[in-house]
Amino acid sequence: MNSETKAESTLQADGLVNGGDGSGRTLDLAAGIALSSESRQDILLQAEDLLVRRGGVTVLDISALDVFSGQVLALIGPNGAGKSTLLLTLAGLLKPARGNLLLRGERIGNGGFDYRRHIAMVFQEPLLFDTTVFENVAAGLKIRGVGRAEIGLTVPEYLERFGIAHLAKRSARKLSGGEAQRTSLARAFVTKPEIVFLDEPFSSLDPPTREALTNDLERILRETHTTAVASTHDQAEALRLGDRLAVVNGGRIVQIGPAAEVMNRPADEFVASFVGVETVLPGRVVRISDGSFTASVERCEIEAVGHVRMGDEVFCCIRPEHVTLSTNASPPGTSARNVFPGTIRTITPLGLFQRVRVDCGFDLVAYVTRQSLEELSLTEGKSVTASFKATAVHVIRRRE
Amino acid sequence: MDLILEGIRKAFYLIFTLDREVLGITLLSLRVSGTATLISLFIGITTGTIVALTRFPGRQLVVSIINTGMGLPPVVVGLFVTIFLWRNGPLGFLEILYTPTAIILAQAVIATPIVTGITLASIQNLPANLRLQILALGATRVQMIWLLVKEARLPLLAAVMAGFGGIISEVGASIMVGGNIKGYSRVLTTATVMETGRGNFDIAIALSIILMLLAFFVNAILTQIQQRERPR
């Protein structure tokens, strides 16, 4: 067995994971690096052959799923795809018709509270108890029979962590949406769970609150080295929080792997339409100058705009419609800061336009019209110059 | 007009001088209806919670029966309790017909479906995922049920009030199974009926004022509860 995990090899056996070029190989540079770092990880939670039926209909059918210790697995998929069902099943809150869960290789018995005391779950709604913020955060500890003295020490620490220390005595009835969800998160983390399940925790919050909470969650996950499985239907959120992505559709995992790999190498049409519309390049900030910055991506440098710090790990996302192709070595009269010579690897017709994948040292996807394709007489293997503006790069900061 | 004014004047005199008979009747009423409410809470909260949290064949029918029971006519309850407690009835050996205990029994039968129905509704009205959230916090089944009931405590207080309010002002069953025996099984409502029949309006009005005050307090507390918000 090589460095791949069991889940991924199972998926490969099903023909579900393959390179974007259809060759079935995933071992390009980015994926190779990610896989070798993954192989060092211990598997914390494993699901085998999970089947959940509701009203005679199969709502979840997962042949294998691994959650690595200390990592965040982001579940992404449309509404009704089975993300919540999968989370509830993994949390031991929904009994599958078939299948096993293993925590550190040990089978989890059905329905017991033993396993549930190792985990925590945060739902979309805060689901607070009708008492004070302090008592809400203390709830999990009280359930475990932790003494008053210890609660008095632990709870304030987590109130502080989630920025709600000043609300300790406030009634849960008098909180804003963001404050309530912070309380819910603190209540989950205070028990020091080995694994946290988050079911679209921020999707009912307004954008600024959501941003602040995502930042805090990201920081706390990093500080506490907590393993997490989080569902979202927002791909930017998935990229920010997730070390790995699993795309869920129709109750199945259609693709799973390191975040950048799933984004850049969608396994099928569905994944492509759902997540894979962008080129996503992992890079590191190497220079900052006056509003814009330079990130080193593989062996190239990309200029982009955004608030970053030196040394930050970032994802540079470039939408295919923002990439211009030209047959001149240096296209005249353009303000594009990013110009890369490359070779066309594949051309795929995609409805009204053509999807052109260019190898510039990294893979870049461009959309061109059929007319441009003919005018420039683009063919596979031809040398072209790809360019895009610094402002066309959507920058997502990664967790360290 | 004089009749009413004189009645009210005398009524207040009876209340404020703590007339022995009025006081005795009031205390007995509170004791009987209070005990019956406690019994109905014990049975009603347990049954309501179980029905709310379980799924079994025929559950729909059970819920319908409980909801019908909430509007059970007191005289019908009085009739059946009397039959059961009658000398040759199934519970005749208890020999409690025409005692305060019989009134407690009848009133508990009236209040239990009310408490059960309100418990059922309030537990079901809790957010659907709250049960899962509590389990995810590591709770055992028993802890989960306890926390849910605790969460529903405000609407359950409404159940207490509705149950108590329903039976303290009930007259039919009390008179049928209690017999309205002076100084023994005479409660506010049965006394009011009798005193009115005799033309003793001052005592009847005094008793009515006490009843209305009780009804007012019950409703004031209920309104307070209903105006509160649930946490997010």
Pick the residue from chain B with its C-alpha nearest to A204: B232
Closest-CA distance, A113 to chain B, in angstroms, reads: 6
Q: Per-residue DSSP letters for B128-168?
A: TTHHHHHHHTT--HHHHHHHHHHHTHHHHHHHHHHHHHHHH
Whole-number pLDDT of residue B49: 93
Distance, in Å, from the CA atom of B184 to the CA atom of A296, rounded to the nearest integer, reads 94
A-contacting residues in B 100-129 (Cβ below 8 Å): 127, 129
Is the CB of B132 less than 8 angstroms away from the CB of A113?
A: no
Whole-number pLDDT of residue B227: 75
Q: Are A204 and A237 in contact (CB under 8 A)?
A: no
Average pLDDT value for residue range B24-47? 94
Is the CB of A113 less than 8 angstroms away from the CB of B138?
A: yes
Among candidates B135, B138, B229 on the partner chain, residue whose Cβ is nearest the Cβ of A173: B229
Query: How does the average pLDDT of chain A come out, rounded?
Result: 83
Q: Are B160 and B41 in contact (CB under 8 A)?
A: yes
Supply the DSSP symbol for A389: -
Pick the residue from chain A with its C-alpha nearest to B144: A143
Instruction: Choose among A232, A189, A225, A297: nearest CA to A42.
Output: A225
Is the CB of B135 less than 8 angstroms away from the CB of A88?
A: no
Instruction: Choose among A207, A152, A225: nearest CA to A400.
Output: A225
Whole-number pLDDT of residue B85: 94
Whole-number pLDDT of residue A13: 43
- Residue B148 reports pLDDT greater than 80: yes
- List average pLDDT for each run of 10 residues in chain A, which is 400 residues long: 45 41 38 44 88 89 92 90 92 90 83 86 94 95 93 95 93 92 95 94 89 90 91 84 90 89 75 72 87 86 87 85 82 74 87 85 88 87 89 76
Whole-number pLDDT of residue A19: 37
Going through A21-71 in order, the beta strands assigned E by DSSP cover 43-54, 57-68
Q: Which CATH class is domain A6-118+193-276?
A: alpha beta
State the helix-helix crossing angle for B201-226 and B153-168, rounded to 10 degrees. 170
Task: Please state, as a whole number, how many other Cβ atoms lie within 10 Å of the Cβ of residue A399.
Answer: 16
Indicate the burial class of A273 (C-beta count within 10 angstroms; 0-12, 13-18, 19 or more).
exposed
Does any CB of chain A come closer than 8 Å to the CB of residue B138? yes
Distance, in Å, from the CA atom of B183 to the CA atom of B99, rounded to the nearest integer, reads 11
Is the CB of A197 less than 8 angstroms away from the CB of B136?
A: yes
Any idea where the domains of chain A sit in the sequence? 6-118+193-276, 281-397
Distance, in Å, from the CA atom of A394 to the CA atom of A235, rounded to the nearest integer, reads 12
Among candidates A116, A180, A197 on the partner chain, residue whose Cβ is nearest the Cβ of B232: A180
Distance, in Å, from the CA atom of A369 to the CA atom of A371, rounded to the nearest integer, reads 5
Q: Which residues of B touch A172 (CB under 8 A)?
A: 231-232
Is the confidence metric ipTM above 0.95 for this complex? no
Whole-number pLDDT of residue A176: 92
Which residues have a Cβ under 8 Å from the Cβ of B2 and sit 6 or more positions away? none
Return the structure tokens found at B174. 């009390």
Neighbouring-strand partners of residue A249:
A252
Helix (H) or strand (E) holding A387: strand A383-388
- In CATH terms, the superfamily for domain B2-226 is MetI-like (1.10.3720.10)
Does any CB of chain A come closer than 8 Å to the CB of residue B135? yes
Is the CB of B135 less than 8 angstroms away from the CB of A113?
A: yes
Residues of A in CB contact (< 8 Å) with B are 88, 91, 93, 113, 116-117, 119-121, 123, 125-130, 139-140, 143-144, 171-173, 175, 177, 180, 187, 191, 197
Among candidates B129, B139, B150 on the partner chain, residue whose Cβ is nearest the Cβ of A125: B129
Instruction: Choose among A344, A251, A339, A299: nearest CA to A61.
Output: A251
B119-146 pLDDT, tens per residue?
A: 999 999 999 899 999 999 999 989 999 9
Cα→Cα distances B91→A93, A302, B32, B87, B109, Å: 47, 91, 20, 8, 15
We find that the CATH architecture of domain A281-397 is Beta Barrel (2.40)
B47-103 pLDDT, tens per residue?
A: 999 999 998 999 999 999 999 999 899 999 999 999 999 999 899 899 999 999 999
Any idea where the domains of chain B sit in the sequence? 2-226
Prediction pTM value: 0.76
